[in-house]
Structure 1
Amino acid sequence: MQISSRLTVRLATVAAVAALALTGCTTASQDTPPGSTASAGADASFDPTTVAKDDALIALLPAALKSKSTIDVGSDTSYEPAEFLDKDGQTPIGYDVDIAKAIAATLGKKADVHTADFSSILPKLGTVYDLGISSFTINPERSKAVNFVSYFNAGVLWAVQKGNPKGITMDNLCGKKVGVQTGTVEEDPDVKDRSAKCVAAGKPAITVVSLKNQTDVTTRLVGGTIDAMSADSPIIKNALAKTNGQLETLGDVYDSAQQGIAIAKSDTELAGVIEKVMNKLITDGSYTKILTKWNNVEGALPKAVLNPTAG
């Protein structure tokens, strides 16, 4: 999830993209451990692969993609309910995965969703992946390095143990242990900046517990070894549902921002097609069915936009 980033992009494109991926947000939440279930809602039976293909949109595809039977998608599958692994520990599922499948079906193809480290996806667009669909917050720095098609809106939200036994508030975080997923904007700049303000005020810094998987962050909060955690709003809400009443939210959602499907900066032709495909899925109702299936209709956008203004 994005808060305004303060990094200055001074590196070559690939290096810049890698750095930007680390400063942004995945929509981080839970890896689903084996044996757990998807957070499906009323439209759990909706199959995005059944979306009808659109020959007019297929005709607009770049030549290199027309000859492929699949669309390769990079995704950090540790971020339930957006993208995570099913009970078998191998199959990617989630609303981002279903959106990838619906895009591919519209273009007469199959989505091949590859599990990848969040920070590695953007640098590999155009070479390894055709698309990056992994809850990427659209911010100015990333937008300099890749094309984005907006498709979802999320904010930052915090959680503590049920009943808030440690009396945590958004105003007394100095000296506390706060868990975040590595590479998210919750880690940097949000919690990092909050900690700097603590130090500037003569108070102890926030101890930032940065972990690769959001599941581990959630587990530590349930166990009480950290005092609070911060993640994208859909991830926190999902964590509350999956921990059987052991957690509760702290404060309200803030810094809502659009997330985008990422396409290589040089691939403007494909970016334009993806914008058209997403708007078709929004218009025909497939998009709403997907978000309803995963209990995240509140994040829906009325229109997909290619390279929207990033704040």
Structure 2
Amino acid sequence: MIMKKTATFITFLALASLSLSACADPQVGTPNTTDTNDKTTPSATFDINQIETVPEIAALVPAELKEKGILLNGASTDYAPAEFRAADGQTPIGYDIDITKALAKVMGLKEGQTQHAEFATIIPALDSKFNIGASSFTITPERLEQVNMISYVQVGSSYAVPKGNPGNFDPADVCGKTVGILSGTYQQEYMQAKSTECETAGKESVKIMTHDLNTDAITKLVGGQYDAVLSDSTVTAYAITQTNGKIEQVGEVIEAEPQGIVIAKDNQALSEVIQKAMQYLMDKGYLKQILDNYGAGEAALNKADLNPGK
């Protein structure tokens, strides 16, 4: 997510008919129609079993993690196509979920698991609860002060507006507009900066509406309560599909930036293993295959940098 959580689970099924509001708990929800169920899953399942364990990488896995055998990822599973929920409303799916499984396979672990967590709570829970955070974290200088990050994709942000842009929302002039964003993300920082610019120019500030779930923001947008929602560009594109075209993108993609897997700052050993495993996935073409499965292949990077820009 910038956070740039530059990303929906089952609730989008409800949005498609506007008969239900987004759930407060992403583990709760029921599909609305068989037709929209197909939109919540990739066109084909990526076969993790085709990925090999790499002995020289597996040998570097910290002893405690190796003994446990499970790479545990924290992700806000409301940000499709990166991390969301399958039609059963329970199972995490998305390219970050598949990438976690792939990393575990390369590292010689039994499996890679993903558990839901609100986005802003993931970094504080590293090491104590999660081994990694694969949840659309944009790499920023501020975040690099908190955690180690391994780059793997590059994603920008874009605005979604109701179909036809009835509020005449202009990305170049957001002053006085009501904009929904996911709490703790780069988008929040971006909108706060824009709001400050408006105030400095003597204009009305931006009404920034933060949400713990991206689907809540999209629900408000579809219902006409917001002028726009700012999300990762991949998320915006997916949300358009999930709402059956009730929203659309306006303006160009903003500030494409690399995103990274987050790891506790003092866990250098795991950071280096994840970096090597990610580079292996890149070199073998597995990363792009996983992303292609969710229509995001163009976001793939070819170099897994540890703390790029530092």
TM-score of the superposed pair, with normalisation by structure 2: 0.87
Q: Residues 156 and 230 of structure 1 are in contact (CA less than 8 Å); yes or no, is this contact kept in structure 2?
A: yes
Give, in whole Å, the separation in 2 of the partners of 1:220 and 1:250: 17
The residue that corresponds to 1:249 in the other structure is 249
Structure 1 residues 39 and 88: alpha-carbon distance in aligned structure 2, compared to 1, 3 A threshold: closer
Q: 1:275: Cα distance to partner?
A: 1.0
Structure 1 residues 297 and 39: alpha-carbon distance in aligned structure 2, compared to 1, 3 A threshold: farther
What SS does the corresponding residue of 1:80 show, helix, strand or coil? coil
Q: Residues 31 and 214 of structure 1 are in contact (CA less than 8 Å); yes or no, is this contact kept in structure 2?
A: no
Using the aligned pairs only, state the percent identity.
39
The residue that corresponds to 2:285 in the other structure is 285
CA-to-aligned-CA distance 1:95-130 (integer Å, 9 cap, x gap): 000000101111222012111111111122122111
What SS does the corresponding residue of 2:68 show, helix, strand or coil? coil
What SS does the corresponding residue of 2:45 show, helix, strand or coil? coil
Q: 1:38: Cα distance to partner?
A: 4.8
1:45-194 matched pairs, under 5 angstroms: 45-109=45-109, 110-188=111-189, 190-194=190-194
What SS does the corresponding residue of 2:303 show, helix, strand or coil? coil
Q: 1:179: Cα distance to partner?
A: 1.1
Q: Which deviates the most, 88-97 or 115-124?
A: 115-124
The residue that corresponds to 1:266 in the other structure is 266
The residue that corresponds to 2:9 in the other structure is 31
Question: In the alignment, residue 164 of structure 1 is paired with which amino acid?
Answer: N
What SS does the corresponding residue of 1:155 show, helix, strand or coil? strand
Q: Residues 73 and 112 of structure 1 are in contact (CA less than 8 Å); yes or no, is this contact kept in structure 2?
A: yes
What SS does the corresponding residue of 1:122 show, helix, strand or coil? helix
CA-to-aligned-CA distance 1:205-238 (integer Å, 9 cap, x gap): 2211212111111111111111111011110111
What SS does the corresponding residue of 2:136 show, helix, strand or coil? strand
Question: In the alignment, residue 114 of structure 2 is paired with which amino acid?
Answer: V
TM-score of the superposed pair, with normalisation by structure 1: 0.87
Give, in whole Å, the separation in 1 of the partners of 2:59 and 2:187: 41
Structure 1: tracts of 5 or more residues without a match: 3-23
What SS does the corresponding residue of 1:67 show, helix, strand or coil? helix
What SS does the corresponding residue of 2:115 show, helix, strand or coil? strand
Question: In the alignment, residue 180 of structure 1 is paired with which amino acid?
Answer: I
What SS does the corresponding residue of 2:174 show, helix, strand or coil? coil
Q: Residues 40 and 87 of structure 2 are in contact (CA less than 8 Å); yes or no, is this contact kept in structure 1?
A: no
Give, in whole Å, the separation in 2 of the partners of 1:146 and 1:275: 14
The residue that corresponds to 1:21 in the other structure is none
Q: Residues 39 and 242 of structure 2 are in contact (CA less than 8 Å); yes or no, is this contact kept in structure 1?
A: no
Q: Residues 74 and 122 of structure 2 are in contact (CA less than 8 Å); yes or no, is this contact kept in structure 1?
A: yes
Q: 1:45: Cα distance to partner?
A: 2.9
Q: 1:50: Cα distance to partner?
A: 4.1
Q: Residues 72 and 131 of structure 2 are in contact (CA less than 8 Å); yes or no, is this contact kept in structure 1?
A: yes
Q: Which runs of 4+ in 1 moved over 3 A?
A: 36-42
1:17-28 matched pairs, under 5 angstroms: 24-27=3-6
Q: Residues 84 and 92 of structure 2 are in contact (CA less than 8 Å); yes or no, is this contact kept in structure 1?
A: yes
Q: Residues 156 and 253 of structure 2 are in contact (CA less than 8 Å); yes or no, is this contact kept in structure 1?
A: yes
The residue that corresponds to 2:295 in the other structure is 295
Question: In the alignment, residue 9 of structure 2 is paired with which amino acid?
Answer: D
Count of aligned pairs: 286
1:198 and 2:198 correspond: yes
Question: In the alignment, residue 31 of structure 1 is paired with which amino acid?
Answer: F
Q: Residues 158 and 251 of structure 2 are in contact (CA less than 8 Å); yes or no, is this contact kept in structure 1?
A: yes
The residue that corresponds to 2:16 in the other structure is none
Question: In the alignment, residue 76 of structure 1 is paired with which amino acid?
Answer: S
Question: In the alignment, residue 207 of structure 1 is paired with which amino acid?
Answer: K
Structure 1 residues 302 and 39: alpha-carbon distance in aligned structure 2, compared to 1, 3 A threshold: farther
